[in-house]
Amino acid sequence: MYDKVLIFESERRGIMFLSRFYKKIKVKEKYVIFHSLVRKFKFVAPDFIEKLETLNLTDAEIKELAKINVLVDSKEEDLNTLEKYRAYVRSKNVKIDLVYIFPTLLCNLKCDYCYIYNQKQNTLSSRTELNMNEMAIDTFLIKYIKYLKDQEVTEANLQFYGGEPLCNWSIVKYCINKAKEAFPFEFSVTTNGTLLTEEIMDYFEEYDVGLGVSLDGLKKVTDIHRRFKIGDASVYDTVLSSIEKLI
């Protein structure tokens, strides 16, 4: 991760690294950049992302990015931040009994306010690298179940989020099937409601999976802001049909 190194002249000669915890999210015409542990953030223009990731920055920009920990003085600084975060969690005696799983960052809608991955070319048939696979699920469950048993946690919840989790339905189903055999989890899924089939609804009912369906108010409002990436059907009508079937 530390292949991007910046040597700069300012008040003193120094070396800085792009933090391993640096993240970016596109929000309409801008990006939010932040350190995922420190959680300080900054809105920047798209052309600034290239400057940042190639470390072609002015002294003033370097100082601003250092304030939010996107640039760090050393690899050890990142490790120290991580250890401080872990120590804080331990000091609060926090037991992690709720985990959000993102089976995919794909979505079949192109909502104009989406903060996850709202790109028109990001269709159901593309960007498969954004999907979780069985190996990732297996690794997660082994480590998390060990943690729960070590911490003597007797109940835990796995919530599937996204993207639209049902764009990777096979992995949602795989995870639930594997998890319920090893620990008394509760499960829930947050979905836009457009991909619910009879098979999926029957499965959720059989395994008592909680379901949250999002709807943006009245039909006129919903269909202005929420549209399918493929086709021009009404999102509102599709979701309402799914809700009626659930009832």
Quickly state the pLDDT bin for 86 (edges 50, 70, 90): confident
109-115-121-124 Cα dihedral, nearest 10 degrees:
-50
Please list the alpha-helical segments (H only) found in the chain: 46-53, 59-67, 75-91, 134-150, 169-182, 198-206, 219-225, 235-246
Q: What is the pLDDT of residues 90-135, one digit of tens each?
A: 888 888 999 999 999 889 998 888 766 444 444 444 555 678 999 9
Which amino acid, residue 47?
D
The answer to pTM > 0.85 is no
Distances (CA, A) of 233 to 165, 200, 215: 20, 21, 15
Tell me what the mean pLDDT of segment 51-74 comes to: 89
E-strand ranges in 74-134 read 98-101
Question: Which pLDDT belongs to residue 118?
Answer: 47
**pLDDT in the model for residue 221:** 92
Question: Which pLDDT score, from 0 to 100, does residue 101 have?
Answer: 97
- For residue 14, name the pLDDT band (cuts at 50, 70, 90): low
Task: Note the pLDDT tens digit of each residue in 27-56.
Answer: 878 999 999 998 889 999 999 999 998 888
Rounded distance between C-alpha atoms, residue 209 and residue 102, angstroms:
16
- β-strands 98-101, 156-160: how paired? parallel
